[in-house]
């Protein structure tokens, strides 16, 4: 009889542990209710879309994700990783979605699904301010080009100028530092980060001619039911003015 009682106690303990273990996708809210947690994969080296202020990741994508979470009744947890790890993390289910100034490309569509595009950007070329040799994308032939690994700047410049001309860095800022040190002749990177890097580092300029134009979107695991939900939330944020409010907070439209 004692053995039977002991077994019942053990089984009860196992059940309690199992319930606790199944709750790791939830977090407490202010009203005491439990909310499902969505994991967002990003690379927080991409101002003004995602970057660090102290220990906190902030930026356009970070705030959009938070607002989308509110609409869906979910908490959003942001995980920082290398840029070229974002899509694999989402594609394998390690993260629920990715937001990192991600451009929609045909190759990426084979790995993940995308939301509706929410921002149109450009790839820009950064050179030293006194550089008179490089005035347009055509002048990059035979030059050393710095890029952030895995970005569309990496993909497009490799296609256009050959792998031997491209030097890849884990962070966009590392490519800019290489430019300052004379290790590369130019850096190709998205427009808004390009502006930030040039503002924060003397002796650099952005060429007037765009390298490419492209559209940003959130990415999801194939066939995820989150795609439609996030698209609906994005639509709401654009209709109620919150989307423009967030973008204007980080990008001065008068300076565009």
- Pick from 205, 216, 215, 217: which is nearest to 124 by CA? 205
Query: Which fold would CATH assign to domain 37-118+217-255?
Result: D-Maltodextrin-Binding Protein; domain 2 (3.40.190)
> Under CATH, what is the fold of the domain 122-214?
D-Maltodextrin-Binding Protein; domain 2 (3.40.190)
pLDDT at 4 over 80: no
pLDDT, residue 27, reads 43
Q: What pLDDT is stored for residue 17 in this prediction?
A: 33
Domains 37-118+217-255 and 122-214 share a fold: yes
Structure pTM? 0.77
The average confidence (pLDDT) of the chain is 88
- Residue range 38-44: average pLDDT? 97
- Provide the residue ranges of all domains of the chain, joining segments of one domain with +: 37-118+217-255, 122-214
Q: What does the pLDDT read at residue 198?
A: 97
pLDDT for 236 equals 98
CA distances to 13, 37, 91, 125 from 95, in Å: 30, 11, 8, 32
Q: Per residue in 146-177, is it b (16+ CB within 10 Å) or e — as a string?
A: bbbbbbbbbbbbbebbeeebbbbbebbbbbbb
| 215-222: average pLDDT | 97
At residue 184, does pLDDT exceed 60? yes
Mean pLDDT of all residues in 12-16 = 39
What is the average per-residue pLDDT within 161-178?
97
Give tens-digit pLDDT for 48-59: 999 999 999 999
pLDDT at 149 over 60: yes
91-122 pLDDT tens trace: 999 999 999 999 999 999 999 999 999 999 99
With 70 as the cut, is the pLDDT of residue 136 above it?
yes
Model pLDDT, residue 2: 39
Is the pLDDT reported for residue 24 higher than 50?
no
Q: What is the pLDDT of residue 226?
A: 97
Whether residue 18 is predicted with pLDDT greater than 90 in this model: the reply is: no
Q: Please state, for a pLDDT cut of 90, what percent of the chain lies above it.
A: 84
Query: So what's the pLDDT on residue 252?
Result: 77
| Cβ-contact 137, 124 below 8 angstroms | no
pLDDT for res 33: 54
What does the pLDDT read at residue 35? Answer: 65
Q: What are phi and psi of 192, to 5 degrees?
A: -65, -45
pLDDT digits (tens, 9 = 90+) for 220-249: 999 999 999 999 999 999 999 999 999 999
Separation between Cα atoms, residue 36 and residue 76, nearest integer Å: 9
């Amino acid at each position: 009889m004692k053995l039977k009682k002991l077994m019942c106690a053990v089984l009860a303990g196992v059940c309690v542990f199992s319930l606790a273990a199944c709750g790791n996708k939830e977090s407490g809210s202010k009203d005491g209710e439990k909310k499902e947690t969505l994991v967002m994969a990003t690379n927080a080296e991409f101002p003004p879309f995602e970057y660090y202020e102290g220990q906190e990741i902030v930026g356009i994508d970070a705030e959009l994700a938070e607002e989308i979470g509110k609409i869906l009744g979910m908490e959003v947890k942001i995980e920082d990783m290398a840029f070229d790890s974002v899509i694999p993390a989402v594609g394998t289910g390690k993260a629920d979605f990715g937001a990192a100034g991600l451009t929609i490309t045909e190759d990426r569509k084979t790995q993940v699904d995308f939301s509706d595009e929410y921002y149109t950007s450009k790839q820009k070329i950064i050179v030293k301010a006194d550089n008179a040799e490089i005035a347009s994308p055509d002048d990059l032939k035979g030059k050393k080009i710095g890029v952030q690994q895995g970005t569309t700047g990496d993909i497009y410049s490799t296609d256009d100028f050959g792998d031997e001309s491209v030097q890849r860095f884990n962070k966009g800022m590392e490519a800019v530092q290489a430019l300052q040190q004379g290790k590369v002749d130019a850096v190709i990177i998205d427009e808004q980060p390009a502006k930030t890097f040039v503002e924060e580092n003397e002796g650099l300029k952005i060429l007037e001619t765009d390298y490419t134009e492209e559209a940003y979107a959130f990415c999801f695991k194939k066939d995820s039911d989150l795609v439609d939900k996030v698209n609906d939330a994005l639509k709401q944020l654009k209709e109620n003015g919150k989307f423009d409010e967030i973008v204007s907070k980080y990008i001065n439209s008068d300076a565009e």
